[in-house]
Amino acid sequence: MKQLFSVAGKVALVTGGSRGIGAMIARGLVDNGARVYITARKADELAATAEQLSALGECVAIAADLSTLSGIQALAAELASREPQLDILVNNAGASWGAPIDSFPESGWDKVMDINVKSPFFLIQQLLPLLRAAGSADDPARVVNIASINGITNPKMTNYSYSASKAAMIQLTRHLAADLVAEQINVNAIAPGFFPSKMTAHFLTGEPEQDAVGVPRGRIGSPEDAAGTTIYLCSRASAWMVGQTLVLDGGMVAAAG
């Protein structure tokens, strides 16, 4: 029972790990003994985050463009050259777009759907050999997909492709979970609410009470919230949880009815 929430010694990959929720999750895994690879497109920002997290444990940066299949394949090949198995994959990299419905561009639709849905699917596909090598009946390999409460309730914003993509991610999580569970790979998701990130920066005022308006819990999400939920989904404690999406939002979805 004392090791229920341990991720020590596990190998993890966190996409979009240079900032925001991805960096929060990567920090939590590193600080709890996992060897963590983080990836993003901007090499300088990625390297800076990896250097910072390396003060806590093992963190390695691999710059990659996950918007193309060739970029996904290159990342999978690079990881396979370094590791015989992958215990944890966190699909966090994402994009958003907002525009009025009358002028919403095709480019904004395609970019978001590709990054938020297509890329995670093909990354899982390319990493299956490493995930299969890691999983066992007692301790399956883990895939954690980062969805959003925008995929569950009406966000009341003009981010149409984003909300559609996150609803798709929740269903993709269920579908993949059912197919991969027999191969000792558990797939689950987290649907975050309001966390500080590049996507939410324009909403933040710097005043905690003002920023938390509409959040029943009375505050926005913290690094501990993101890291703690991910660690649960990647540890022995959740070995029997399959295909679920954990809503991590301080009560916003519950209050929406």
- List residues with catalytic annotation: 162
C-alpha span between 208 and 28 (Å, rounded): 23
Give the pair of three-digit tokens for residue 220.
């926005």
Q: b/e string for 245-254 if b means 16 or more Cβ within 10 A?
A: bbbbbbebbe
Given a contact cutoff of 8 angstroms between Cβ atoms, the answer to whether 191 and 216 are in contact is no
CA 107, distance to chain mean position in Å, is 23
Do the beta carbons of residue 37 and residue 29 sit within 8 Å?
no
Q: What is the 3-state secondary structure (H, E, C) of 138-158?
A: CCCEEEEEECCHHHCCCCCCC
* Tokens at 82, concatenated: 């370094």
Taking the C-alpha atoms of residue 242 and residue 145, their distance in angstroms, rounded to an integer, is 12
With beta carbons less than 8 A apart as the criterion, state whether 230 and 28 touch.
yes
- 33 Cβ contact partners less than 8 Å away, ≥ 6 residues apart: 6, 7, 8, 9, 10, 57
Distance between CA atoms of residues 247 and 217, nearest Å = 13
Contact predicate 57/63, CB 8 Å: no
SS3 247: strand
